[in-house]
Amino acid sequence: MQAFGNVATEPVRKVSKTTQKGYYEFRLCENQRGDVKSPTWYTVRVMKDADPGLGKGDFIKATGKLKVDSYLNREGKPTSTLLIISFEAVKLKAAEELQVAKEAKQEAVAA
């Protein structure tokens, strides 16, 4: 799957408890198209130990596998998050960002 959106938190390096390999994790806000105005939030795990070079506010494309991460929150209630296990998360240049926005506008007009 691919998600286009803005990095909402600074990427943080973490280490897997099972494999002891490093990865980077951050939150991504994807703006909706068409009639739905509320954004979709994802947690993105870039499964490389190299700094992805992303910062809060960057417009990116994250490519990977979508999963549901279920856990108990601080109050002990079951909750879930959309998780992208990413093999690619790249910052888009201004021209690419405009192209994505143009395609979204065309989809909204067609719907």
Contact status, residue 100 vs residue 108, Cβ threshold 8 Å: no
Phi-psi region of 57 (alpha: psi -120 to 50; beta: other; left: phi over 0): left
Give me the number of domains the chain comprises. 1
CATH number where 48 lies: 2.40.50.140
Give the integer Cα–Cα distance in Å for 57 and 61.
13
In Å, the largest CA–CA distance within the chain is 48
pLDDT tens digits for the chain (111 residues)? 999 999 999 999 999 999 999 999 999 999 766 666 789 999 999 999 999 999 999 999 999 999 999 999 999 999 999 999 999 999 988 667 667 777 777 776 776
Residue 99 is part of which domain span?
2-110
* Assessment of whether the complete model's pTM goes beyond 0.85: no
- Which of 22, 23, 11, 6 is CA-nearest to residue 85? 23
